Amino acid sequence: MSAVPVILLLSGSLRAGSTNETVLRTARDVASAARVRAVLYDGLAGLPHFNPDDDTEPLPPAVAGLRAAIDAAAGILVCTPEYAGTLPGAFKNLLDWTVGGTEICDKPVAWVNAAAPGRGRGAEATLRTVLGYTGAHIVEPACVAIPVDRGAIDADGLLTDPEARRRLGSVLGLLAASGSGRP
């Protein structure tokens, strides 16, 4: 029997009560039904500022941890806010740390845009540019918009909307299938 694929969930927000993290926690909640295991990365705040001088062995432990988590994943799902028309600096910093490693090369990656309709396109455009430099494989059908109203988050910090949950399960399934070489 083949192992359950792991999808790494990367939030671009450090904010307590983040809507983007809510989307990813909901993805984790529906993961078993999608026959994947979803792991929420929690090291964003602990990454050092990117410095090429430090991108050498031995890597800073937080960076080694990030790269190991990427390496162990069959795919990556990103959910990030847009700040000032682009990615939050902390999340761009995370992506900068992936450029010098090989772990993300050809790795299936997708994102969920959780912003209000018509918003967040600057963040999406930057993600596309930066992921292109990293060599990640953007899984286009798995890149979706699921606008999140803060009022739709339940007491457990999850989305209960069945359609949002169904679409997140579908995104996870597409990423896992892409990582396994299946269509």
Ligand X SMILES: Cc1cc2nc3c(=O)[nH]c(=O)nc-3n(C[C@H](O)[C@H](O)[C@H](O)COP(=O)(O)O)c2cc1C
Binding footprint of ligand X on the chain (CB under 6 A)? 13, 15, 18-20, 81-85, 115, 119-120
Reported in sequence order, the residue ranges of the chain that DSSP labels E, i.e. its strands, are 6-11, 37-40, 75-79, 108-113, 137-138, 144-145
Report, in Å, the least distance between residue 23 CB and ligand X. Answer: 8
CB atoms within 10 A of CB 146: 20
Q: Indicate the burial class of 37 (C-beta count within 10 angstroms; 0-12, 13-18, 19 or more).
A: middle
